[in-house]
Amino acid sequence: MKLYDTIYEEATAEYIIQKSRFIAHIAPVDTYDEAKTFIASIKAKYKDATHNVPVLVVGEKQEMQWSSEDGEPQGTAGAPVLRMLVDSGLTNLAIVVTRYFGGIKLGTGGLMRAYTAAARLAIDKARLCEVKETVILKYEISYSDMTKIENISKTGVFNIAKIEYTDKITLEINGDIDRKDEIMDAITDITAGRCRLLKKESRKNKFVIDSATMLC
């Protein structure tokens, strides 16, 4: 079950125009406090910069949204970056776009384009991903059932994440939480009830997607 779209990993990108350097740092976060801590760390690292423009979006439904212009003209820095993130459906991430002024004014439109361009470059490097809730099932099965389970996994009903071989096989599989009952029934049927369920839990996992499909 898909929960939300975000970025896969932390990244940095640089965009230069009219001698001004725009350095975008981006990080995945889970909470507002985590986002603020990341923003503070980047501001401290680039305390000599002309501007450090922060943006954050947190919550599965983008409940927490915040940005600042950090001294740039109103609506030219943090606001357009925040709007891009919200319109793209992204959440649980924080961005700081640092600017070193190059001596040439870019104008309102130029600033908006420059800050957004730097943020987009960072997002591309961080890679977009879907966060899905998956079910994790750990079974003990006999060797005679392994081939049948592998064949079913190839249909996409579930994925085999880990295999341990002893006198029996310990198998960890995962799949969409919405298909939990279907997966468990399939394993029971395949093994004719000979399997033993050792663990059942849910977990959030990231799946990388194509950024071109979202940031348009």
Q: For the beta carbon of residue 207, count every other beta carbon within 10 angstroms.
A: 12
- CA-closest candidate to residue 26, choices 103, 111, 98: 98
- CA-closest candidate to residue 95, choices 76, 74, 116, 64: 116
The confidence score (pLDDT) of residue 210 equals: 67
The confidence score (pLDDT) of residue 1 equals: 83
- Chain CA centroid to CA 103, Å: 36
| Three-class HEC string of the chain | CEEEEEECCCEEEEEEECCEEEEEEEEECCCHHHHHHHHHHHHHHCCCCCEEEEEEEECCCCCEEEECCCCCCCCCCHHHHHHHHHHCCECCEEEEEEEECCCCCCHHHHHHHHHHHHHHHHHHHHCEEEEEEEEEEEEEECHHHHHHHHHHHCCCCCEEEEEEECCCEEEEEEEEHHHHHHHHHHHHHHCCCCCEEEEEEEEEEEEECCHHHCCC
Enumerate residue ranges in the chain where pLDDT < 70: 210-216
The confidence score (pLDDT) of residue 194 equals: 93
Considering the entire predicted model, what is its pTM? 0.79
Query: Token digits for 102?
Result: 């190059």
Whether 92 contacts 59, CB under 8 Å: yes
> Rounded to whole angstroms, how far apart are CA atoms 169 and 143?
6
Identify the structural domains of the chain with CATH numbers, from first to last. 2-126 (3.30.230.30), 133-208 (3.30.70.240)
> Rounded to whole angstroms, how far apart are CA atoms 69 and 194?
62
